[in-house]
Structure 1
């Protein structure tokens, strides 16, 4: 679990400055439309410290910027809360601000770990997702105990577990998803990659995938190559941009045995549209991927005001990716 803690710590640097006044978030001319880029979502992990400070004001501001839905994270199953908000209260706040939540990230690191018999309460996850009106329960990460020694068997086991969970969730009208990082693109001896194993061993009617565009690009691959290879399997995207000074891939023989902390030194994010990723080209594959829901996400925000950051990303998507 040390790797996972380090990842979460490094992905959560900094506390935001004060909230911007609501009038600063008056939306630009909003192109009408019903596509996933018109109805843009936000992965709330991007502004996790703001949610801790003031969840009500934070969610209100997200809605004022123009986001139509949010992807949740970090439920406390024991207390039944998100950021100290009871689940029913969170649902009411979202409803009051005309925000939907189609998807949530739920910790499945024990459930997907073939060396453990103790698992997360996945039945409770289904109950929570159903109460929030979510269509997807997404596993946000693999077990992170020993990333450099993940084997094909680990991915095969994870796929089997996702299928089992998918069967259970299907009864509640919910589908299971999986969200990638960079290590799923490492090659094994036969040339197979971890994500390929997950896709090959999961049932399309039970398990979908949420492609993080930053991480696949940081692995030295193109999202388009996976949309071509697995059409319809990626109904969710994380739209996240890469700092132009940090574009070197972190997958390959020079990196596959490097410590996680050293790899993270090569990672830097930026607001969507200001970095190295060509989103307009990728957006041409939305139909082929089966895209339903698109989420802006930025793991670390370096601007003094994090609302300004997520608004810049929102404005770019609305201006350049909507048709």
Structure 2
């Protein structure tokens, strides 16, 4: 976020040089994750403004969620809802991390329906059964956990996701994860 605020011209120039047309804000700093409603509204407003400025240069800006954005901030509204509400009709997109929604206690399907048109891509990862894969923080290779990825992948596409990005936050074997994710997503047609 600091680079977008302080060096937007350099960021957009680097995107142009590298041929990047989709830029994702990955996370807010740890110290800011439990901020109040005013913070999340201000961030949504700022990201919306940046999304307009970047769109004029052919670069789409999106926000990536985790579970902390699902905490209620004001009148039951979550941080993520406040962020998107404050971004208004801006072109700010959403790179939805479906497993973080589930880990945060949300059913991802209503979220995907609600923000259809804002969703640009999705992280495809999975949750291990309760008490398993503790050495991998409870994550599982996509398609090897408890999430219904055939349904979720279809919902992500219907919401506007152009692609699913295989992800695992803490694989004990990166090669195993990559092989499993590729095989699963390939057979899924994702």
Q: TM-score, normalised by structure 2?
A: 0.89
2:94 aligns to what SS in structure 1? strand
2:119 aligns to what SS in structure 1? coil
Q: Is the 8 A contact 1:111 1:161 kept in 2?
A: no
Aligned-partner Cα distance in 1 for 2:154–2:131: 25
Q: Cα–Cα, structure 1 residues 205 and 154, in superposed 2: closer, same or farther, change >3 Å?
A: closer
- 1:275 and 2:145 correspond: yes
Q: Cα–Cα, structure 1 residues 204 and 296, in superposed 2: closer, same or farther, change >3 Å?
A: farther
- 1:166 and 2:33 correspond: no
Q: Which residue is 1:176 aligned to?
A: 61
Higher percent of residues as helix: 2
Q: Which residue is 1:322 aligned to?
A: 189
Aligned-partner Cα distance in 2 for 1:188–1:164: 22
1:238 aligns to what SS in structure 2? strand
Aligned-partner Cα distance in 2 for 1:267–1:224: 24
Equivalenced residue count is 189
Candidates 200, 221, 236, aligned match of 2:106 = 221
Deviations 1:145-203 (A, max 9, x none): 1433x111111111111122112211210111100011100112401001111111114
Candidates 94, 97, 112, aligned match of 1:212 = 97
Task: List gaps (5 residues or longer) in structure 2.
Answer: none
| Displacement after TM superposition at 1:141 (Å) | 0.4
Q: Is the 8 A contact 2:93 2:120 kept in 1?
A: yes
Q: Cα–Cα, structure 1 residues 111 and 162, in superposed 2: closer, same or farther, change >3 Å?
A: farther
Deviating runs (4+, > 4 A) in structure 1? Answer: none
Candidates 175, 185, 196, aligned match of 2:70 = 185
Q: TM-score, normalised by structure 1?
A: 0.54
| Displacement after TM superposition at 1:245 (Å) | 2.4
Q: Is the 8 A contact 1:246 1:267 kept in 2?
A: no
Q: Which residue is 2:87 aligned to?
A: 202
Q: Cα–Cα, structure 1 residues 299 and 266, in superposed 2: closer, same or farther, change >3 Å?
A: closer
Aligned-partner Cα distance in 1 for 2:89–2:147: 28
| Displacement after TM superposition at 1:300 (Å) | 1.0
Deviations 1:28-78 (A, max 9, x none): xxxxxxxxxxxxxxxxxxxxxxxxxxxxxxxxxxxxxxxxxxxxxxxxxxx
2:96 aligns to what SS in structure 1? strand
Aligned-partner Cα distance in 1 for 2:89–2:182: 30
1:274 aligns to what SS in structure 2? coil
| Displacement after TM superposition at 1:123 (Å) | 1.8
State the superposition RMSD in angstroms: 2.3
Task: List gaps (5 residues or longer) in structure 1.
Answer: 1-107, 113-118, 248-263
Say which one has the larger Rg: 1
2:110 aligns to what SS in structure 1? helix
Q: Cα–Cα, structure 1 residues 316 and 265, in superposed 2: closer, same or farther, change >3 Å?
A: closer
Deviations 1:202-234 (A, max 9, x none): 144521000001100101112211112222211
1:299 aligns to what SS in structure 2? coil
Alignment of 1:232-251 (within 5 A): 232-246=117-131
Q: Which residue is 2:14 aligned to?
A: 128
Q: Is the 8 A contact 2:116 2:158 kept in 1?
A: yes
Q: Is the 8 A contact 2:125 2:142 kept in 1?
A: yes
| Displacement after TM superposition at 1:310 (Å) | 0.8
